[in-house]
Amino acid sequence: MDDKGTEESEVEIKLTDGVSAHVIHRERLERVRRQGREKKRQEEERKKEERKKEERKKKNQENPESSDSEDEEDAYLIEQLTKMGISVKKPEPPEGSGLVYDDRMAKFQCLWDPAFPEKPERITEPFARCSELGLIERCTRIEAQYGTEDQVLLLHTESHLEKLKDTVDMSREALKKVSAKYDSVYFHPGTYEASLLALGSTVELMEQILKKKVRNGLAIIRPPGHHAMTEEFCGYCFINQVAIAAKHAVDNLGLKRVLIVDWDVHHGQATQQMFYDDPRVLYFSIHRYEYGKYWPNLRESDYDFIGEGNGKGYNVNVPLNKIHMNDTDYLAIFHQVLMPIAHQFSPDLVFISGGYDAAIGDYKGEMRVTPVAYAHMTHTLMSLAEGRVCICLEGGYCIKSLSEAVALTLRTLLGDSCPMLPAMGDPCHSITSTILNVIKVLRPYWSCFSYQTELTWEELCPFEDVNEMPPKPDMPFVTEENKPKEFPIMYEFEDGVEEEYIIQHKFDPVIDQLIAETSLATPPNKTCIVYDEGMRVHHAITFRGHPEDPDRVTSIFDKHSEWGLLDRCLRVQSRLATDGEIQTVHSSSYIEQMQASAELPPMELRNLQHSFNSIYMCPETNVCARMAAGCVLSVTDAVLSGQANSGVAVVRPPGHHAECTKAMGFCFFNSVAIAAKYAQNKFGIKRVLILDWDVHHGNGTQHSFYEDPSILFISLHRYDHSFFYPSSTDGNHNMTGSEAGNGFNVNIPFNEGPKGDAEYKAAFQQVVMPIAYEFAPELVLVSAGFDAALGDPLGGYHITPAGYGHMTHMLSSLANGRVIVALEGGYNLSSISNSMATVTSVLLGDPCPYLPYAQPQESAVKSINSTLDSHKQFWKCLKFRVPIPDLRPKVEERNSEEEKEEKLEEEKFKENIDELAKNMTSVSVYDGTGQVGEEPKSTNQPESCVTEQATSNVETDPINVGTKPKMETKQLEMETTPTSNNTLTTKTKELGDDTNVQGAGGTMGGAGGAMGGDGGAMGGAGGAMGGAGGAMGGAGGAGTSVDENMGAVGGANNSVLDRLNVVQALEDMGHQQMYAIQPLTWCPHLDTVHSLPQRVLDTGAPCLDCGNLGENWVCLVCYKVFCSRYVNEHMVIHGAMEQHLMTLSFSDLSVWCYGCDNYIDNQIVNAAKQAAYRHKFGTEMSGS
């Protein structure tokens, strides 16, 4: 079983030989049946295709002139719907990390001051430390190149270059004399050569990354460059290599957006100046400032210098106004400012001006950033630009901390897990003020800053500096007028610094201890995986086509095999969880009940099934549930024993709804909760983070650890004001834990419409990652339901595989990379297969797929803010949720009417098919030609009209980034007019050609049930069959204006084409059902709803026919209570016999109309819903 080549395993079930043989027999029989069904399907498809060809041929012969026939309209519609099939590209094999280093850059030094900080050891010692750790041999070595004069002249003047050239033949005295003309500079005869080598090496490394010869890279070079101005040497810098490379990238190599992150402790004023009006380059600098007292003492280094002209908003300064800033402060900058703005900017390439003079022990920076923190900052930035990160050494003058930080940076680029950081503390008052000030001035230009409220007229921000604008009075800024004519050529220490840092070596033992305590152990396997065919035998006996289908795990496993991921993973032995292991979460009586279920007669088993909420059972259920839990424990063993760094468990049935004493929501044993207790009991793990991204709230997990401060539970889920399954207020943001566990239960409940990548990523940036770093888990367990994925029939959300990849990447920075991902829900086979395979790919170290930016919905921002408000009393990292001054009106005044119209137009069309396709980049759109479409451009720039990607002209220049081809677009004008049958016709005008296309109504969706039925766990948004609207359909089809309240991409009109014909056509073309809808806001049967006889509904009332207490519904005509179609179908029978078509679910309080075959949301039914809510939860329903 632990062989990497093993494809399948037959489970050895240690109960009785009869059960074991029975399971194996059922599996073999199922495999034969599956093969037979596949052959039959293929034969039917072939016959259908032949029939269609004959019909088209006959049609053309009868009417060869017809160009706008109904068949052509139907074909066009089907083609548009077909384009929405998800086709995720297999990840390319990871390239190596490039490394540039050349001893020739160590041959110059200050000839008259041996103690000068900028010395050869700055590159030789980091290189030696990287070699000592075995990192050099793992890199792709890139030969250092000399920069050309043309490259220098991209940003420097000819006179500047000539002055540098002249120093080659100067005497020592002449060098001293010319050095005195510039601030903090010394010249050496080798300076010119080293500067050209630093430039050429930077450009060469960048080009190798863009050519995909390497994935990322590090240039260990000197002299530094970010202070070198257009015509002035400054701060040990002569040629600004990073700025020149960035300029070369946008001017000559076709890149659209480049991000430069400058974490050197000194402000890179020269880089800022060179791109101050250029929106193609976002410059982000974190630097010591002290209100202007610290070098280079410039007014322009403060936070309010944000660019000018077209570049306004693209220059970001984060000035540090006190010394001794630490890891907590720097990570707060990343979480609150850098990563939100970087994701919105969506760069094609990331440069890091890697100065390490903020590292602990550096006497120039006097900061306290640890070497490990640089690994985490690097890892965070690697989520951008598909991992294209180019790091170039700038400053860093404590050789010991510099060497360690550079080595850990390179180790991270190579894909090794970040070493653990201790729990983050309280961001200091000064950095909090700075971060809020940065957000204050940038908020008018970047929509990602939505998590601070606005000050009222009488209100002041609690951080006093935020209420003012700089500068502080009487600051001694350096200007052209007052700067000295001559500068010292000997290095001068600041007061007290030499004694503390140089003479006493105060920080040497601290650095030594940090190094000793940092575990750099690397397991032999990056990721392990477990899967067993035995988990397929759990199946629904009475409900054919149940969404929790055995093929869920098989399709995921097959996708892993197709992508070659299995060969890169350690295969782990499956097993059954023992009674003792399960008892850490579940009661003994419940375990015995489950054990006995295997021997129950069919009717008794069915009765037991009906006693639970949203459950089906078969004789093999107990064994499969034990195996699911046991497999997660096997992965936990492999990870915590050091066999693998991370793990993936492809298991079913899911577990996170299972309570201590009962099954519910397809779940029997809470595998992840059991694994958390197992890790604590067997391995002594002190802190476990459980992250649940299943679309449903993990009620069972929450209840298991609600009072436990050793387990942090964070759940992101669809809530819909408690109406979405499991339909309990326990999933609300104010449920924070109790007693010692208060604050350790974090719910991020989403309401009001479908959510996707943008909303989940924002929640991670604002809530999940800050809290996780403050908690500092030793193990991360992910309850990985993929029912929030695009196309899921129950979830109705829009997360793409790329979105799941990015969330996984963020989590993998925690706990030494010990992340275990266990399958929970997810019911679209295509979606779950691609999504979980992408998660495994990222855990294996592959780059994050490209993910374009989209603005999170206001309702999601509201939910995130509610969670922040509920938890900021418990977590210091959430202190940034305060009111700040609003400067946005100043920007609104400069907006032209045209810009406003474009924004309105963008909002108008944001939910049509083309817009949805933009949000699926790496999840590519199939274009019907057999080719996977290239990535659309980022949505951070508004577009005024719907565009159709036509032909792709991919440049053959190997320098050009392959994933960003130039696209020719056809501008389409959409005119929507009613037709004689009250449908909508969209006329598409393109270069004078008219094509009439009828819009389609929704296909394949019930607003809740998997089969368009009534409620329970399947009462989500968008069923697999039945209903109206449809994620891809809409009231006017692709390209027409739609009401965003009517569904993901469309409304409820479904009369254009017969829904089943469209579905059948899509199935004929091999496309799976991937559509979800919203409830109808009106239906003709609302008139039959009677008012409540009394203002009370008893949601615990039994079925009048069978006495069932599980999933029951109440008739809104006669107010009799009957059971659902998933029990004994008595409500369905009642509706058919009495023609009472309107019903209300006691499970999730949704309303279903049998006449319209859809869910209904109208104020006429609100009185009944309010009464049910009042009885069920003891309070009034919000928003009613």
User: What would the two tokens of residue 955 be?
Assistant: 């440049």
Neighbours of 951 (CB within 10 A): 8
Distance CA 251, CA 350 (A): 16
Which regions in the chain score pLDDT beneath 50? 1-26, 29, 64-85, 890-894, 897-898, 909-910, 912-1077, 1184
> Helix, strand, or coil here: 1083?
coil
Three-state secondary structure string covering 1032-1045:
CCCCCCCCCCCCHH
Residue 41: the pLDDT is: 65
Q: What sign results for the dihedral spanned by CA atoms 673, 678, 681, 687?
A: negative
Helix or strand run (H / E) with residue 1109:
none
Per-residue model confidence as pLDDT tens digits over 324-363: 999 999 999 999 999 999 999 999 999 999 999 999 999 9
List, in sequence order, every beta strand (DSSP E) within 200-346: 216-219, 258-262, 281-288, 315-320
CB 221 within 8 A of CB 229: no
Dihedral angle at the C-alpha atoms of 1172, 793, 693, 418, nearest 10 degrees? -170
Listed in sequence order, the residues at least 6 apart from 267 whose beta carbon sits closer than 8 Å to its beta carbon are 285, 287, 289, 296, 298, 301, 317, 319
The residue to which tokens 């090794």 are assigned:
416
Cis upstream peptide for 296 (omega within 30°): yes
Listed in sequence order, the residues at least 6 apart from 913 whose beta carbon sits closer than 8 Å to its beta carbon are 80, 83, 84, 1032, 1038, 1039, 1049
Q: How far apart are the first and last CA of the chain?
A: 56
User: What would the two tokens of residue 450 be?
Assistant: 């939505």
> Helix, strand, or coil here: 504?
coil
Residue 60: the pLDDT is: 60
Neighbours of 20 (CB within 10 A): 17
Residue 1080: the pLDDT is: 82
Q: Which residues are catalytic?
A: 227, 657
Helix axes 602-611, 588-597, angle to 10 degrees: 140
Neighbours of 134 (CB within 10 A): 11
DSSP string, 209-232: HHTTSSSEEEE--SS--TT-BTTB
Helix or strand run (H / E) with residue 993:
strand 993-998
Which of 757, 856, 845 has the alpha carbon at shortest distance from 801?
757
237 to each of 325, 394, 1078, how far by Cα in Å? 25, 9, 60
Per-residue model confidence as pLDDT tens digits over 391-449: 999 999 999 999 999 999 999 999 999 999 999 999 999 999 999 999 999 999 999 99
Distance CA 845, CA 923 (A): 19
